[in-house]
Amino acid sequence: MSLLDKFEALRSLQMALAHAASVPAVATPMDEVHSAREATVQGRRLLLAGSNNYLGLTFDDACRAAAIAAIEAYGTGSTGSRMASGNYRLHRGLERALADAFGWPAGIVFSTGYQANLGTLSALGGAGDYLLVDSDSHASIHDGCRLSAATTIRFRHNDPDNLDRRLTRLGDEARRTLIVVEALYSTLGDRAPLDEIADIKARHGAWLIVDEAHSFGLFGARGVGLCEELDLLDEVDFIVGTFSKSLGGVGGFCVSRHAEFELLRMASRPYIFTASPAPAVIGATREALRRVLAGADLRRRLWRHAHRLYGELDKLGFSLGSTTPGPIVALVYAERDTAIAHWQALLDAGIYTNLMVPPATPGGLSVVRISLSAAHTDEDIAYILHSLEALAPARVAT
């Protein structure tokens, strides 16, 4: 058995996925990107309904100008860790702006959202501590737990009773236990019962971190997420977010209402042992954040699309991953082949969505995921609906 033999099994999976549809459904080759809503794939211009570009800011004029200005002022890369030569005024300014947006004293920027979870969880969870993690969490959360010296315990997805029982069993150790959840889960678009989780956390004297990767910029009066919308900023201890979704860049952050969180810079290996984000990325993200905080026009447009699509798809008899409207619209299938056929039908209609199949999905389900964007027009949404009508279970049944 050689070092590389273990990858042979993956070759057949890769081939199966590459040939299941006319265009590879995994790692779909985007040859040109024209705007936040259109790209060319294998010679065809497609409507993008499977990006995380919730506010459509990747092509925003002010964000692009800010990226260019940052390159002119600071160059193309930092070539150093934040602990060495990569600690620019740009990075510190964005951290301050993020913490201020939450009204909190501490905030740290990481080079990706993945590293934000890795860097925060691995440093917060020390020897003798406990990480109590929702079982359907993103890979970056599970990997952050693996990198930490804490004991990791999973609780059943979105099940407050199960969480409560596990904390009861931990007894006094609850005080050194960090509950880890996402606000909006990315595969099915379902929300965590954050009110109940915050209650349980307070009752046991535990700690709570919420990953708002898919909700930052979309929820709350200021737009900083679901915890803000639910008025939980005094209950939650840490919030993680990414720049790669509503903010249209790349990078991640963690903010905290505990000033001591700043000390994590001295302990977090994924923060210390990597170069700081490139100036262009920080410049554009700072502008995107300003845009989010300046007004609700973009998120209002996104919500109008979400309510319309959820309402119509329910009437058409589609099984959706969430009953509550949101930016992620997950069409859920028991059979993988039906999901692949629907993904292909949408592609044939000129619409790119995400295909997700087991084992990458919870509960063995297959999913065609549509992500909405404020960049979508009302006509785009009408077209997506029109294209889905032909595939509707209600239509097929009659």
Buried b / exposed e along 271-303 (16+ C-beta atoms within 10 A): beebebbbbbbbbbbbbbbebbeeeeebbebbb
Buried b / exposed e along 233-268 (16+ C-beta atoms within 10 A): bebbbbbbbbbbbbbbbbbbbbbbbeeebeebbeeb
In the bound state with ligand PMP, the residue whose beta carbon lies nearer, of 177 and 354, is: 354
Cβ atoms of 383 and 351 within 8 Å: the answer is yes
In the bound state with ligand PMP, the residue whose beta carbon lies nearer, of 170 and 240, is: 240
Alpha-carbon Rg for the chain, nearest whole angstrom, is: 21
Q: How many residues contact ligand PMP, by CB under 6 A?
A: 14
Binding pattern for the stretch 125-164 against ligand PMP, x by CB under 6 A and - elsewhere: -------------x-x------------------------
Count of other CB atoms within 10 angstroms of residue 179: 26
- Distance between CA 60 and CA 81 in Å, rounded? 29
Least distance (Å) between residue 380 CB and ligand PMP: 23
Least distance (Å) between residue 140 CB and ligand PMP: 5
Which listed residue (148, 186, 215, 285) binds ligand PMP by CB under 6 A?
A: 186
The reply to whether 252 sits near ligand PMP by the rule CB under 6 A is: yes
Report which secondary-structure segment, H or E, holds 125.
none
Least distance (Å) between residue 138 CB and ligand PMP: 4
Largest CA distance in the chain: 66
**Residue 13, phi then psi, degrees to nearest 5:** -65, -45
Query: Residue number with the shortest CB distance to ligand PMP?
Result: 113
The reply to whether 114 sits near ligand PMP by the rule CB under 6 A is: yes
Binding pattern for the stretch 207-236 against ligand PMP, x by CB under 6 A and - elsewhere: ----x-xx----------------------
Please classify residue 47 by burial: count the beta carbons closer than 10 Å to its beta carbon, then call 0-12 exposed, 13-18 middle and 19+ buried.
buried
Segment near ligand PMP (CB under 6 A); pick from 4-12, 73-81, 92-100, 107-115: 107-115
Using DSSP's 3-state secondary structure scheme, residue 200 falls into helix
Segment near ligand PMP (CB under 6 A); pick from 90-98, 106-114, 195-203, 225-233: 106-114
- Distance between CA 119 and CA 192 in Å, rounded? 23
In the bound state with ligand PMP, the residue whose beta carbon lies nearer, of 110 and 391, is: 110
Least distance (Å) between residue 245 CB and ligand PMP: 7
DSSP 32: E
The reply to whether 242 sits near ligand PMP by the rule CB under 6 A is: yes
The reply to whether 361 sits near ligand PMP by the rule CB under 6 A is: no
Which listed residue (60, 182, 235, 237) binds ligand PMP by CB under 6 A?
A: 182
CB neighbours of 5 closer than 8 A, spacing ≥ 6? none
Which listed residue (50, 56, 113, 144) binds ligand PMP by CB under 6 A?
A: 113
Residue ranges in contact with ligand PMP by CB under 6 A: 112-114, 117, 138, 140, 182, 186, 211, 213-214, 242, 244, 252
